[in-house]
Amino acid sequence: MQDYEVFLQQLITGLSNGMIIALVALGYTMVYGIIELINFAHGDVFMLGAFLALTLLGALGMEAWPSHWQLAGVAIMLLASAGFCGCLNWSLDRVAYRPLRRASKLSLLVSAIGCSFICTNLGLFWGGMPMEVFAGGVAAAAPKDFPQLIPQFNILGESAIRIVPADVAVLVVTVPLMIALVYLVKRTRLGRAMRAVAQDATAAALMGIPVDRVIGITFFIGGALGGFASVVYALYNNTIGFQMGYRAGMDAFTAAVLGGIGSLPGAVLGGLTIGCVRAMSDQYVETRWTNTIVFGILILILIFRPSGLLGSTRREKV
Amino acid sequence: MKKQPLFALALVFTSAMTAVTLAQSTETKGTLTIISSLPRTGSANAQTTTIVNGIKLAIAEVNGQVDGWTIAYQDLDDASPQRGNWDGALEAQNANAATKDPSCVAYIGTFNSGAAKMAMPILNRAGIVMVSPANTYPGLTKPGKGEPNEPMVYRPSGKINYFRIVPTDDLQGVQAADWAKQLGAKKVFILHDRELYGKGIADVFQAHAKTISVEVVGFEGTDSKAANYRSLVTKIKAVSPDLVYFGGTTQTNAGQIAKDLRTGGYEGMYMVPDGCFEQAFIEAAGDSNLNDKTYITFGGLPADQLLGRGANFREAYRAKYGGDPEAYAAYGYEAARVVLQAIANAKTMDRAGILAAVAATRDFDGVLGKWSFDANGDTSSQVLSGQTVTNGKFAFVKVLGG
């Protein structure tokens, strides 16, 4: 491999990983934008989405399906996980956050941490399900193999640079979702209501906007994005585990803060930045320094631009 | 057909009665407890379950009694779900529990060398003998093979209380590098998980590879919690090695690395040490990613290659538990037998007496033939083996070195 090929390859890897991080980061940033809560449970909701996908895959026996049917299977998993994660996130808001709306932000945060623990343990429990795809459920805490539904070959043929269909899948799922989201927030009535609630919930309520419902919908959309991300993650990495939510959540949260929490383009930019920095650091520095470098950059940016890359000082939220 | 459950029930009842009568009729001198501390949560569980079965088998063979003493056994977990791997805090807790239990005379464990580091000083102060069925990091026992202060740092009382029945990584790493060369590797890329065991064996592998003129084109510590290793794989491919060596375990993501190597288009060999010699590794990696290009070294012989006493163990295991033991089960059985023999030979029936008796183990008729403990607490056995993966199963290739 030539030097420029190595660089391009790392860029592709970085962008693919970054896209997945960005999709999860959007869920953080949306919820933060509207009620200024860091929804710690978001990463774990994402993890449960992947577990649902694997359960469906096993229950429907998708591995044995002919390859074009498997694509339909992927679509089923995407929709099911998105719906499931959306509903789960909405329920968390309804049960654990909404009653605390008037309490201090700190109580809300503690409640979110609690939800995160509950979801993590739910995942641990789920992993022990006696199904073939969970390796019989004997080792509940062990990482689970997620079958390769998307074939592994180099789209570029014999080229030294390698793009596998999974890379394309990441792109095909995430980019339309991001565009749809921006359209929803900027152009629709619902989006306008969300922005209004974000700016001033009391004023929005006075104008007749059902604030709690709008917040609930925001949670649903954020969760659904996490659900989409979970299936993409599972197809890309081929491994899921009940702890994956912690790590993915950490990366995504960092991305959201880096881009400016509350800003949608910021979350995407933050995700892509972290993905690429990771890849470049793995290549040109050393893997063991990667985390240090990512968080070093985060600290530097926050020192010089406390509101993040795209976060504006006048808090435009959602 | 209807009578059968009744009959079975009656049988259970009678045997329960017999057990009670037996316990009553035999005057016991007291209870001696053996505690084991192994990672029972997470993917190591499949392996450690067979180790625990091995220990139970050894105790059952003597009917739970030695010279009128009742042998009790306690199976402790040193792994936490949060880590999915061994946890130093839990290991220290287990070791402390052992010191506080006055009937505890022996501690079987640990599975991971890093965990041993936590338990050794605690048990050393209490004078409890510790027999590990699986630790292979050399510095735990051998002066000059690890950090400068090892192994004395684990022996605050100055006495040796730690013994192990597996050959260490200063042998395994060397044999692995030799085998890599025999397999035709000219350039190797070495990865390690940055743990005591993984980094330790990777260091040995690297040092020996250089002396046998195998070129080391990279040496890197990995992030064992990473979602994938694609960028690392690109870096590896850029220097085109014939073999990638990973010093680590299933729990530190050996399976994910195998997956990403294949997804990333790497077509060379992949070699891992005994920490990956468990079915969970194949499950984590997906067998199609391992087939015929993956090599695993192990300090001992796999269960289906054992002869003599080892073969007896294998058959007894199958008869009792109805499945095949994993690689380290034989060592769990062996560790328990060493302790039981020491209890039989002890001059005084206390921790010190049993410790002295374990230290005096010579020409032990074990699953891998006759062996003795040396002055450091290491086994004299030097049998190592190499295996590969074919059709989702480990396949024995050869005995290494020797």
Does the pTM of the predicted model rise above 0.90?
Answer: no
The closest alpha carbon to B289, from B322, B249, B256, B262, belongs to B262
The whole-number pLDDT of residue A262 equals 86
* Confidence check: pLDDT of B7 > 70: no
Q: Which residue of A has its CA nearest to B237?
A: A1
Same domain, B206 and B162: no
Closest residue in A to B80 (Cα–Cα): A141
Three-state SS for B81-128 is: CCCCEECHHHHHHHHHHHHHCCCEEEEECCCCHHHHHHHHHHHHHHCC
A10/B283 CB distance under 8 A: no
Residues 6+ apart with CB under 8 A from B362: B372, B373
With beta carbons less than 8 A apart as the criterion, state whether A236 and A166 touch: yes
B102 found inside a domain: yes
B310-324 pLDDT, tens digit each: 999 999 999 999 988
Whether residues B161 and B184 share a domain: the answer is: no
User: B65 burial class (0-12, 13-18, 19+ CB within 10 angstroms)?
Assistant: middle
Q: What pLDDT does A266 receive?
A: 93
Residue A150 CA, chain-centre distance (Å), reads: 20
Judge if B173 and B234 occupy the same domain.
Answer: yes
Residues B135 and B199 in one domain: no
Report yes or no: A288 at the B interface, CB cutoff 8 Å: yes
Residues B242 and B287 in one domain: yes
CB contact under 8 A, A139 and B42: yes
pLDDT band at B9 (very low <50, low <70, confident <90, very high): very low
Q: Cβ–Cβ of B263/A238 closer than 8 Å? A: yes
Contacts of B281 in chain A (CB under 8 A): none
Decide if pLDDT at B369 tops 90: no
Q: Tell me, yes or no, if A199 comes closer than 8 A to chain B by beta carbon.
A: no
Task: Tell me the pLDDT tens digit for each residue of B173-185.
Answer: 999 999 999 999 9
Taking the Cβ of residue A14 and every Cβ of chain B, the question of whether any pair is shorter than 8 Å is answered with: yes
Can you tell me which residue has the tokens 């590797």? Answer: B185
Verify that B389 and B263 share a domain, yes or no.
yes
| Per-residue pLDDT reduced to its tens digit, B65-85 | 999 999 999 999 999 887 888
For A163-218, how does the pLDDT look when each residue is reduced to its tens digit (9 = 90+)? Answer: 999 999 999 999 999 999 999 999 999 999 999 999 999 999 999 999 999 999 99
Q: Is B358 part of any domain?
A: yes
Note the pLDDT of residue A318.
53
Mutating which of B231, B239, B262 best tests the A interface, going by the most A Cβ atoms within 10 A? B231
Helix (H, G, I), strand (E, B) or coil at B229: coil
Residues B338-361 pLDDT 10s? 999 999 999 999 999 999 999 999
For A102, A125, B252, the CA distances from A243, given in Å and listed in that order, are 32, 12, 13
Contact criterion met (CB < 8 Å) for B283 and A237: no
Instruction: Report, as an integer, the average pLDDT of A57-72.
Output: 91
How far from A195 is each of A98, A130, A192, A200, B251, CA to CA, in Å?
Answer: 19, 45, 5, 9, 45
DSSP B252-320: GTHHHHHHHHHHTT--SEEEE-GGG-SHHHHHHH-GGGTTTTEEEEESS--GGG--THHHHHHHHHHHH
Joined tokens for residue B364: 């032990």
Confidence band for B23, pLDDT divided at 50, 70 and 90 = very low
A chain contacts of residue B231, beta-carbon cutoff 8 Å: 10, 13-14, 278-280, 282-283
Which range, of A17-26, A132-141, A254-263, B165-174, averages the lowest pLDDT? A132-141
Cβ-Cβ contacts under 8 Å, B41 against chain A = 141
The pLDDT value given to residue A253: 93
Q: Do B263 and A279 touch (CB under 8 A)?
A: no
Domain locations in chain A as residue ranges: 19-153+209-257
DSSP character for B78?
A: -
Average pLDDT over residues B197-221: 96
Are B236 and B87 within one domain? no
Evaluate the omega torsion of the peptide bond into residue B302 and state whether it is cis, within 30 degrees of 0: no
The total of other beta-carbon atoms located within 10 Å of residue B8's CB is 10
Distance to chain B for A58, nearest Cα, Å: 15
CB B160 within 8 A of CB B151: no
Same-domain check for residues B174 and B162: no
Instruction: Answer whether A288 sits within 8 Å of B222, measured CB to CB.
Output: yes
The per-residue pLDDT for A232 is 96
In a domain, B19, yes or no: no
The pLDDT value recorded for residue B119 is 96
Of B234, B283, B286, the CB nearest to A283: B234
Structure tokens that stand for A292 in this block: 């240090």
What share of chain B has pLDDT > 70, as a percent?
93
| Residue A166 contacts B, CB cutoff 8 Å | yes
What does the pLDDT read at residue A312?
67
Do residues B153 and B178 share a domain? no
Determine the Cα–Cα distance for residues B292 and A80; give it in Å rounded to an integer. Answer: 37
Mean pLDDT of chain A: 92
Q: What is the mean pLDDT of residues B254-267?
A: 93
Task: Please judge whether A287 and B222 are an interchain contact, meaning their C-beta atoms are less than 8 angstroms apart.
Answer: yes
Measure B324 CA to nearest chain A CA, in Å.
16
What DSSP element (H or E) covers B73? Answer: strand B69-77
Residue appearing with tokens 């040796």:
B160
Q: CB contact, 8 Å: B43 with chain A?
A: yes
HSE at residue B147, side-chain half, CA atoms within 13 A, is 11
User: Which CA distances in Å does B288 have to A68, B183, B245, B258, B269?
Assistant: 21, 21, 19, 10, 14
pLDDT bin (cut points 50, 70, 90) of residue B16 is very low
Residue contact A166–B259, C-beta within 8 A: no
DSSP state of B349: S
- Which residue in B84, B262, B283 is closest to A135 by CB distance? B283
> Does residue B244 lie within any of the structural domains?
yes
DSSP 8-state secondary structure symbol assigned to residue B144:
T
Give the residue among B106, B122, B56, B110 at the shortest CA–CA distance from B79: B110
Element (H, E) at B34: strand B30-38
- Judged by a CB distance cut-off of 8 A, whether residue A278 touches chain B is yes
In this structure, are B185 and B203 located in the same domain? yes
Three-state secondary-structure class, residue B147: coil
* Confidence band, pLDDT 50/70/90 cuts, at residue B292: confident
Residue A133: per-residue pLDDT: 86
B263 and B118 share one domain? no
Q: Reply yes or no on whether the pLDDT at B240 is more than 80.
A: yes
Weakest mean pLDDT among A157-171, B9-23, B199-213, B316-330: B9-23
pLDDT, tens digit, 9 for 90 and up, residues B138-188: 999 999 888 899 999 999 999 999 999 999 999 999 999 999 999 999 999
Q: What are phi and psi of A45, to 5 degrees?
A: -60, -45
**Which residues are paired to B388 by β-bridges?**
B295, B395
How many structural domains are present in chain B?
2
User: Closest to B256 (Cβ–Cβ): which among A121, A239, A247?
Assistant: A239
- Give the mean model confidence (pLDDT) for residues B110-126: 95
> Residue B8: which pLDDT band, with cuts at 50, 70 and 90?
very low
Looking at residue B271, which CATH number applies to its domain? 3.40.50.2300
CA distance A275 to A261: 17
Chain B positions touching A139 (Cβ under 8 A) are 42-43, 45-46, 280
Any domain includes B206? yes
CB B50 within 8 A of CB B31: no
Contact between chains at B235 and A162 (C-beta distance less than 8 A): no
| Residue A127, CA distances (Å) to A133, A147, B236 in order | 10, 16, 33
Q: Mean of the per-residue pLDDT values for chain B? A: 90
* Residue indicated by tokens 């959309």: A221
Confidence of residue B91 (pLDDT cuts 50, 70, 90): very high
CA atoms within 13 A on the CB side of B93: 11
DSSP chain A: --HHHHHHHHHHHHHHHHHHHHHHHHHHHHHHHHH----TTHHHHHHHHHHHHHHHHHHTTGGGS-HHHHHHHHHHHHHHHHHHHHHHHHHHIIIIIGGGTTS-HHHHHHHHHHHHHHHHHHHHHHTT---GGGGGGSSTTS-EE----S----TTTT-SS---HHHHHHHHHHHHHHHHHHHHHHHSHHHHHHHHHHH-HHHHHHTT--HHHHHHHHHHHHHHHHHHHHHHHHHHHSEE-TTHHHHHHHHHHHHHHHH-TT-HHHHHHHHHHHHHHHHHHHHHS-GGGHHHHHHHHHHHHHHH-TT-SS--SS----
Quick check: is B379 in a domain? no
Does any domain span residue B16? no
The pLDDT value given to residue A306: 87
- Domain of B127, in residue numbers: 30-167+306-371
Treating both helix axes as pointing N-terminal to C-terminal, what angle do A211-237 and A189-199 enclose, rounded to 10 degrees?
Answer: 110
Interface touch B235/A145, C-beta < 8 Å? no
Give the H/E segment covering residue B32: strand B30-38
Give a three-class secondary structure readout of B159-223.
CCCEEECCCCHHHHHHHHHHHHHHCCCCEEEEEECCCHHHHHHHHHHHHHHHHCCCEEEEEEECC
Decide if A285 touches B, using CB distance below 8 A. Answer: no
Same domain, B44 and B131: yes
